[in-house]
Amino acid sequence: MRAASYARFGAASDVLEITEIEMPTPGPGEVRVRLAFSGVNPSDAKARAGARPGVTKPAFPRIIPHSDGAGEIDAVGAGVDAARIGSRIWIWNGQWQRAFGTAAQFICLPSAQAVDIPSSVSLETGATLGIPGLTAAQVVFGGGDIAGKTLLISGGAGAVGHNAVQLAKWGGAKVIATARGAGLARALEAGADSALDYTNADLAAEILEASGGGIDRAIEVEFGANIPLLAEVMRPLGTIAAYGSGAEMMPTLPFGPFLFKALKIDITLIYLLPEAERAVIIERLHSALTTDALRPAIQAVLPLENCAEAHDAVMTPGRSGAILLDMA
């Protein structure tokens, strides 16, 4: 089978290779998926570049990147119902703690990690659900019902943020999103009640005015950089659901303001979501998709040969949707 892979860290164009690799065979409890699309995420590009602190070489001699994807089950291992063959599925954690991910024509993985796609949902959309879809659903709904609450979604035009805006409106929340430039209109089109420029000097005052007094739950892509803002705009007993902090990975917390509002910090890493919680979030995602409340945006679909270009594209600021590889 054809696959993109790398054996050392470096720039995408330097280390990613398109090669022929032996077809995998499903083991006990596994399914084999003929992939139609592979989803590319910033985490894939960062891992390939060697950007993880303290990591000096790849964890495996050769890595096929990407954790997200969608396709059709074409074989099953011992203990898996043969009726699954032919099922349209999407994948989560395809390359998490494993050498071979979805940037290949086939992948073998545990049956539970291949989720049946509702008939009305395309395989392209399915390939966006693993990381951006599940992350958005978890940070929005991970604390329970949001109906009647006010949510602040930072980076409301990004892949996770754009999904989160749609899901929060579907869940009955008032939504304030931050973005910049063309992203402001994009967040409003996704359903945000207000979209505010995150570079504005008086952003805290604007959020307080738009929210009518404060935020119940903040969906935060830049936790460290936005801590001072959050200390001002959160309501007492509010929750900060953080899934990123790339600009400031060693944040300083003003404990006093957080203490006297009794704020909660809920950090999400979707790879580690427990089974029961993941099942609830998957059900929420499917419900939103099948009622047309969620439409994940896709910016580009590139051929496998353009895997390096896809890695660069997913790291480009201002991206307006998911980046996929067409594995067909």
| 283-299: average pLDDT | 98
pLDDT at residue number 283:
98
Topology classification of domain 132-271: Quinone Oxidoreductase; Chain A, domain 1 (3.90.180)
Cβ atoms of 242 and 143 closer than 8 Å: no
What gap in Å lies between CA 113 and CA 122, rounded to an integer?
Answer: 18
What gap in Å lies between CA 184 and CA 194, rounded to an integer?
Answer: 9
Instruction: Please give the CATH architecture assigned to the domain spanning 2-128+296-326.
Output: Alpha-Beta Complex (3.90)
Question: In this predicted model, which residue has the larger pLDDT, 103 or 318?
Answer: 103
pLDDT at residue number 155:
96
How many Cβ atoms are within 10 Å of 62's Cβ, its own excluded? Answer: 15
Backbone angles phi, psi at 141, to 5 degrees: -105, 0
pTM of the shown model: 0.97
Q: Do the domains 2-128+296-326 and 132-271 sit in the same CATH topology, yes or no? A: yes
pLDDT 10s digits, 246-270 = 999 999 999 999 999 999 999 999 9
pLDDT 10s digits, 223-236 = 999 999 999 999 99
328 pLDDT more than 90: no
Query: Buried (b) or exposed (e) across 79-112, using 16+ Cβ within 10 A?
Result: ebeeeeeebbbbbbbbbbebebbbbbbbbbbebe
54 pLDDT more than 90: no
Q: Where are the domains of the chain?
A: 2-128+296-326, 132-271
pLDDT at residue number 301:
98
Tokens in use for 191?
């359903």
pLDDT at residue number 21:
95
pLDDT 10s digits, 83-127 = 999 999 999 999 999 999 999 999 999 999 999 999 999 999 999
Percent of the chain predicted with pLDDT > 70:
100
| 162-185: average pLDDT | 98
